[in-house]
Amino acid sequence: MIYKSSISKTNKIVFGFVFLIIILATIPVFYCNDLTPFIIVISINLITLFFLAWILADTEYRIDKTNLYCKSGPFQKTIPIANIKKIMHHNGIIVPVAFKPALSHIGLIITYNFYDQIYISPENENEFIDILARTNSNIKIIPLKNEL
């Protein structure tokens, strides 16, 4: 099963603003008479835009019989479902996790192995959690505090 990452309105605005800044920062090099800065700035900005677009277009999560695959552009992670200990709902801009292949500030913190964590934001969280819980019945599900 494949789940695309949900993207929050806030992140849409942030990504749009970043794209706009990069494009606007490129304009002055068109007025430069020297070719070297033109090539450098255009190259850096195109590479940056490419990676941002790749992350936006290709952030998804896939579940098979034994593994959870998380992918965000060039970044990938495979987690054995049997190793997942806890799934915690999270809602906030600051996420206390190092690896975050997600496009929304509303998502899930998955704890696996002994202390490893990943933050993801699948579009259909309930279905996503149900599939993981059916595969590994030992997963502890922790809702948001206001959902208790």
pTM: 0.85
Q: Average per-residue pLDDT in the chain?
A: 91
What is the structure's pLDDT at 38? 86
More confident residue, 146 or 56: 56
What is the structure's pLDDT at 126? 92
What is the structure's pLDDT at 28? 87
Helix axis angle, 9-26 to 35-57, nearest 10°: 170
Number of domains in the chain: 1
The string of pLDDT tens digits covering residues 93-115 is 888 898 999 999 899 999 999 88
DSSP state letter for 143: -
CATH classification at residue 98: 2.30.29.30
Please state, in angstroms and as integers, the Cα–Cα distance from residue 88 to each residue in 1, 13, 80, 95, following that order. 21, 26, 17, 12
Tokens of 122: 């699948």
Please state, in angstroms and as integers, the Cα–Cα distance from residue 20 to each residue in 23, 51, 54, following that order. 5, 15, 16
Q: Give SS3 for 73.
A: coil
pLDDT confidence bin for 70, thresholds 50/70/90: very high
Residues of the domain holding 69: 1-148
